[in-house]
């Protein structure tokens, strides 16, 4: 069976748009039928792991088609890539109701062990994938994650996935959302900004279940993404673009019911396609759509993956550009990002965990981003209680679609974290790189330097930053904006210890008994499918410190 390489895809037009032109689709099916979309694994536990594939029984049974027969599928797990020793195997079936996707929870495995897996169907054998189980809670072996988010197919290539796939010692890849984007062809700031380097199918904005299935199928034809899934298990959660930009529980910025139909129907379609096409373990028999979950990696890491879209209230309106945009006031009392039940689940779980590092998989920036510096609390105390209350919260938020639009709930979580050691927040969404401390009280941080946790933010895989997009409209203006924002961080947000506003890539985050370290692997050019990558920065947090500092060098 021929390998469906990245260059083969690009040369044939696959992975570069127009994927559903029948002749090209036939070429893909012929090249690697029926496992055109590769294989994947995810949500590792000490003795089991989710295995995934998609079976294409014919060229007509393309993603989203809703046609094709029910297919029997066999699976195997082995201790060697040659599959000389099979330790687990079984059979299942799939059909058009699941878009011919396959999910297997392979059990009976050994902890902290690397395995290889494959599928058989219709007389063919899939490529082999490598996966790894988690260590037992009694083990204190180091844990290493790759961390990624924001892979807009239209706006950049997936070279970061390829480089991350080549990392040899990852326990898992944590994907923090925007695995796919719903947009049709074109840009968002202007007619073609960001620059469109290719165009994902379907060639229009995703609205229906068939649309979202086609979009996931298009992404899964990308060889660099297939390589990542074949190399490491993934722990994934959605953000907004798996449905629509700036999603909240009853709508989205990028949804107009008058022209795009019922919101609940669209939201369910996007979520269903995500859960069909990703190796996610279902943890709640009463709620198939639940993705907030907790995974343990030995004695060192307890990982909480949050759902910050399904239960969030509508963000407050911005002073400048309307709801969910830049430049807003403090959030209104009662607004929540994750809902009451998930908030209690998180804070109570953090408090009861005996893991060395409590890690939060968080979709959108958590750290305070203020436009104007806060007057320290010790000074406001002299002004009297009424004036002091005014300065208790930041005056102007730079962004109200992230946690800065939900200040009350964020502060309750910060208050809970303040008494819990070694909380690390891993974040995506913003297409930039940051290392931050989370102040216990932002208006007192300049004087007391107290932090409740630390936050490490990964850049986009394919999605460019705002500064990059501005430079595409007016060359150099984005650099000026970045300078202003960096200066503002120094004055108004002193808890920001590292910021890089332009380059795409990923993080590698390593946990041992004494420290956590994050390395930012940044691409030379996110619009070059062959871009090289290098470690641009390394920061660490010592156990018990809740502080961010430069590391002595990159991880080995």
Question: What percentage of the chain reaches a pLDDT higher than 90?
Answer: 78
pLDDT in tens, 361-417: 999 999 998 876 555 554 555 556 555 555 555 556 677 889 998 999 999 999 999
Average of per-residue pLDDT across 273-280: 98
Question: What are the tens digits of pLDDT across the range 137-164?
Answer: 999 999 999 999 999 999 999 999 999 9
Question: Mean of the pLDDT values across residues 441-454?
Answer: 90
Q: Please state whether 99 falls in left (phi above 0), alpha (psi between -120 and 50) or beta.
A: left
The DSSP result for 131-176, as a single string, is: EEPPPPTT----EEEEEE----TTT---HHHHHHHT-SS-SEEEE-
Question: Average pLDDT for residues 203-219, to the nearest whole number?
Answer: 97
Phi and psi at 87, nearest 5°, equal -110, -15
Q: Is the dihedral of CA 24, 28, 29, 30 positive or negative?
A: positive
C-alpha pair distances (Å), 224 with each of 158, 177, 242, 327, 463: 6, 17, 20, 37, 16
Q: Which domains does the chain have, with CATH numbers?
A: 33-107+116-129 (2.60.40.380), 146-550 (3.60.21.70)
pLDDT of residue 382: 55
Q: For residue 200, what is the DSSP state?
A: P
Q: Report the alpha-carbon distance of residue 29 to residue 547 in Å, rounded.
A: 51
Give me the pLDDT at residue 31, please. Answer: 72
CA distance 257 to 251: 9
Instruction: Supply the pTM of this predicted model.
Output: 0.92
Which pLDDT does position 8 carry in this prediction? 34
Phi first, then psi, for residue 234 (nearest 5°) are -120, 140
Question: Range with the lowest mean pLDDT among 183-187, 233-237, 338-342, 495-499?
Answer: 183-187
């Amino acid at each position: 069976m021929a390998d469906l390489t990245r260059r083969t895809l690009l040369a044939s037009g696959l992975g570069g748009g127009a994927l559903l032109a029948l002749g090209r689709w036939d070429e893909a099916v012929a090249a690697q039928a029926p496992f055109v979309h590769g294989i994947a694994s995810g949500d590792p536990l000490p003795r089991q792991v989710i295995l995934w594939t998609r079976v294409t029984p014919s060229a007509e049974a393309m993603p989203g088609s809703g046609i094709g027969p029910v297919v029997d599928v066999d699976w195997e797990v082995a201790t060697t890539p040659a599959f000389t020793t099979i330790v687990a195997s079984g059979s299942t079936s799939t059909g058009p109701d699941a878009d011919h996707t396959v999910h297997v929870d392979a059990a009976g495995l050994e902890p902290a062990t690397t395995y290889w897996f494959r599928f058989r169907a219709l007389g063919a054998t899939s490529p082999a994938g490598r996966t790894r189980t988690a260590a037992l809670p009694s083990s204190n072996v180091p844990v290493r994650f790759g961390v990624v988010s924001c892979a807009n197919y239209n706006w950049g290539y997936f070279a970061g996935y390829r480089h991350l796939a080549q990392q040899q010692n990852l326990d898992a890849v944590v994907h923090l959302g925007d695995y796919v984007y719903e947009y049709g062809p074109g840009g968002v700031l202007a007619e073609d900004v960001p620059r469109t380097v290719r165009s994902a199918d379907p060639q229009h904005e995703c609205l229906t279940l068939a649309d979202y299935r086609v979009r996931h199928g298009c992404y899964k034809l990308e060889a660099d993404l297939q390589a990542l899934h074949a190399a490491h298990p993934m722990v994934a959660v959605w953000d907004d673009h798996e449905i629509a930009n700036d999603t909240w529980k009853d709508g989205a910025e990028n949804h107009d019911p008058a022209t795009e139909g019922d919101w609940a129907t669209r939201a369910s379609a996007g979520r269903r396609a995500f859960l069909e096409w990703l190796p996610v373990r279902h943890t709640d028999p009463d709620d198939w759509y639940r993705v907030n979950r907790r995974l343990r990696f030995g004695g060192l890491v307890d990982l909480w993956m949050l759902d910050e879209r399904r239960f969030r209230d509508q963000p407050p309106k911005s002073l400048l550009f309307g709801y969910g945009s830049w430049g807003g006031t403090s959030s209104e009392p009662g607004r929540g990002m994750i809902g009451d039940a998930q908030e209690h689940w998180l804070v109570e779980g953090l408090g009861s965990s005996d893991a060395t590092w409590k890690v939060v998989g968080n979709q959108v920036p958590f750290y305070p981003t203020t436009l104007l510096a806060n007057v320290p609390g010790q000074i406001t105390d002299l002004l009297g209680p009424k004036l002091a209350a005014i300065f208790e919260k930041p005056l102007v938020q730079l962004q109200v679609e992230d946690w800065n639009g939900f200040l009350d709930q964020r502060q309750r979580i910060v208050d809970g974290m303040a008494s819990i050691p070694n909380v690390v927040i891993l974040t995506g969404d913003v297409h930039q790189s940051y290392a931050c401390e989370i102040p216990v009280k932002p208006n007192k941080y300049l004087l007391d330097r107290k932090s409740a946790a630390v936050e490490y933010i990964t850049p986009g895989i394919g999605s460019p930053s705002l500064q990059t997009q501005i430079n595409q409209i007016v060359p150099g203006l984005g650099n000026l904006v970045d300078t202003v924002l960096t200066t503002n961080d120094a004055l108004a947000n002193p808890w920001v210890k590292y910021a890089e506003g332009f380059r795409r890539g990923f993080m590698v985050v390593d946990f041992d008994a004494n420290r956590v370290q994050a390395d930012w692997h940044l691409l030379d050019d996110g619009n070059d499918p062959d871009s090289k990558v290098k470690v641009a920065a390394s920061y660490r947090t010592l156990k018990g410190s809740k502080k961010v500092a430069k590391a002595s060098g990159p991880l080995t």
